[in-house]
Amino acid sequence: MNKIAGYIFGVLLIIIGIIIIISGFAKVLTFGDSISTGQMMVFSSGAIGVLFIFLGGIFIIIGATILYYTSIGKIFSYIAKETAPGVEHLAGAVGRGWKGKKLKSKKVKKTKAKL
Alpha-carbon distance 5 to 31, whole Å? Answer: 39
Domain ranges across the chain: 3-69
DSSP 8-state code for residue 40:
S
Q: Which residues of 20-36 are buried (b: 16+ CB within 10 A; e: fewer)?
A: bbeebeebbeebeebee
Alpha-carbon distance 24 to 20, whole Å? Answer: 6
Residues 8-53 pLDDT 10s: 999 999 999 999 999 999 888 887 666 666 666 666 778 888 999 9
Verdict on whether the full-model pTM lies above 0.85: no
- Could you count the other beta carbons within 10 Å of the beta carbon of residue 63? 20
